[in-house]
Structure 1
Amino acid sequence: MRSEEFQYGGAKLRYEVSGRGEPVVLIHGLSGSAHWWRHNVPALAAEYRVYALDLAGYGHARRQRTLGVQENAELIAHWMEALDLRGAAVVGHSMGGQIAVRVAALKSGRVDALVLACASGLLAGNPVRVALKLPRATLTGRPAFLPRILADSVRAGLPNLWRSAVSLLGDSVAELLPALDIRTLVIWGRRDALVPVELGRKLAAAIPGAEYRELPRAGHVVMVDAPREFNAAVLDFLRRPGAGAAPENRV
């Protein structure tokens, strides 16, 4: 694994690269970092070239002002163009899933598949009220992961967390979904207390041909709460040519 850095328009994107093969891009959510994928990278990197991002203002790309959802998508699109990534699968968690939808909607022709994990693209509400759900969301997840959540939140800083929350809650991807012509897997933790499963089902139903999966023992950080099931579902989806070409719902 090696770490790299990309700068564009004054914004910095850090990323870790592992494995060989077709590109898989991992985008973390609000308060996250590339480290949130540590249970998933080894399994994915055994078959693919994996790029785990630190968004501007987060992880190793901290000490800068975070970007909004659309600005993050544009930065990632420029990064993919600079690296000439083609046929990529973009995997996004929570806010990262919302960003991933916008990356795909830019129609660059570089994204071949989407995996949306507990994506926030249809979440709405007051930032304070949504924040009040965080304690319950934490309790429904893996307790051992709480120190990482707290550490990454502190590293990002309250101003960046607030700006990201305001941006994602003020940005709906609903109008983009019917026009997505990219094979898509929507995967959710059934115990998600932050972005309810109803929104996951609604998200999948709005994307033509999307496949929907629920993991019964997982909460919001689905790839950490149930890594084996998550990795198996994602790899199964990515290995199948034309995955998502026909509607399929599995619970």
Structure 2
Amino acid sequence: MRALLRSPLTVHTFRDGERTLRYTRQGAGPPIILIHGLSGSGQWWRFNAPALASAHEVLTLELLGVVGVQDAARLIVAWAESLELPPAAVIGHSMGGQIALYVTAFAPQRVCRLVLACASGLLHARWWKVALNLPRAGFSGRPRFMPVVLRDSLRTGLPNLYRSARDLLRDDVAALLPTLEVPTLVIWGSRDPLVPPKLGQQLAASLPQAHYVELPHAGHVVMVDQPRAFNAAVLAFLAGPGPA
């Protein structure tokens, strides 16, 4: 018997003024919001969303064209309020993690758990060095994922990539971190060349209720490089009582 093909997910659109957010929904249960990073897309969660949807409703966001970190966070808060979502677990990768920190700061009542995967926020470098390291970050992980990295980079375009990288690096979250009381999982790839693990350890140490996990043999796109370990760690964290 031939295997049944998975039906494509419906893409929804939310508009707030001139800003646009696209998203998909799958699964049922307590909500999880997935936020991709710089020059990324919802495809970066394709090895994770189905597993997470086994026990949760998973809402995967697309932030194409939204440049500023704090602007993106405000858009996400407005979107969550429009859907009247209950408190959600927010999972952000790279720049998406930095955005997730601001979502938590702007609307703490909307966030019950936070997962920061190779998150920026404490990264200090010139924008062009970060941009040049993006291909290296892709090659540090699964080679078969490189077509997605290249396609999304081309789709983002150099002007948006430049503006987003510049805004990301100008925005320092150090003063914000001690104020965020939400239980947090900080999860990193041991081979991340873009945002080194020492920054992940520093990030976890600065958050009041954070636990740090480092996955071996994973690069910057940790949830693609080690999806089973990533999914298991996230599901265990969401099911547990949270860090002491």
Structure 1 length-normalised TM: 0.92
User: How many residues were matched structurally?
Assistant: 236
1:38 aligns with 2:8: no
Aligned residue for 2:156? 156
Determine the structure 2 residue equivalent to 1:47. 55
Match of 2:6 in 1: none
| Aligned counterpart for 2:20 among listed residues 9, 12, 20 | 12
- Looking at structure 1, the residues matched to 117 and 83 of structure 2 have their Cα atoms a distance apart, in angstroms, of 25
For the residues of structure 2 that align with 1:55 and 1:124, how far apart are their CA atoms? 23
Aligned residues of 1:40 and 1:227 also touching (Cα < 8 A): yes
Q: 1:26-105 alignment to 2 at 5 Å? A: 26-57=34-65, 66-105=66-105
SS of 1:26 mapped into structure 2: strand
One-letter identity of the residue aligned with 1:95: M
RMSD: 1.0
Question: Alignment partner of 1:2: what SS?
Answer: coil
Looking at structure 1, the residues matched to 119 and 199 of structure 2 have their Cα atoms a distance apart, in angstroms, of 9
**Aligned residue runs from structure 1 range 211-230, under 5 A:** 211-230=211-230
In structure 2, the gaps of 5 or more residues are: 1-8
| 1:119-141 deviation per Cα after TM superposition (whole angstroms, max 9, x unaligned) | 00111111112223234322211
User: For residues 53-83 of structure 1, what are the alpha-carbon distances to aligned partners after superposition, in whole Å with 9 as ceiling and x for unaligned?
Assistant: 00142xxxxxxxx330000000000001001
CA distance in 1, matches of 2:136, 2:151: 18
Percent identity of the aligned residues?
Answer: 59
Structure 1 gaps, min length 5: 58-65, 247-251
Q: What are the equivalent positions in structure 2 for 1:136-151 lying under 5 Å apart?
A: 136-151=136-151
Question: Is the contact made by 1:123 and 1:169 (CA closer than 8 Å) also made in structure 2?
Answer: yes
TM-score (norm 2): 0.94
Which 4+ stretches in 1 moved above 4 angstroms?
Answer: none
CA contact (8 A) 1:122 1:173 kept: yes
